[in-house]
Amino acid sequence: MAAEVTTSNAEASDKLRVLVVDDEPSLVAMLAEMLKGLGYEPVAYSDSSAALRALRDDPGGFAAVITDEVMPGLSGTQLTEALRAQSPHLPVLLVSGYGGALLASRAATAGVTRVLSKPLQRTELARALAELLHG
């Protein structure tokens, strides 16, 4: 089943650009590789402020955002709040090693589309992106 999600996702994506934001370079690289394998074009940042500038410079250039929550500068929810003014419908996947009701509430208030838990599994990412981007 996971291979079917991956295959259909790669065919349907037609290299949709996905912005990846995490302050840990190794996690950014891992997510970028996962996205490439799923047929997406990752655009990766380890600095949330730089990622926000990229979003503002090219507001229609991304199909989705995948962001960590706990980062220096802007957190994932703060980044989401900042981008909502110009991109209200852009899907945002918030990834965090911390969960619970407080994070869920903060994410919902910020406009996060979906919260995923770390460590992020390839099949979980494929399924979430397929649902958000391809119905």
Q: In order of start, what are the domains of the chain with their CATH numbers?
A: 2-129 (3.40.50.2300)
Beta carbons of 44 and 75 less than 8 angstroms apart: no
E strands of the chain, at which residues? Answer: 17-21, 41-45, 64-68, 92-96, 114-117
pTM for the complete prediction? 0.88
Q: For the segment 82-109, what is each residue's pLDDT rounded down to a tens digit?
A: 999 889 999 999 999 888 899 999 999 9
Residue 35 has pLDDT above 70, yes or no: yes
CA distances to 50, 55, 77 from 21, in Å: 9, 11, 12
Q: For the segment 7-23, what is each residue's pLDDT rounded down to a tens digit?
A: 333 344 368 999 999 99
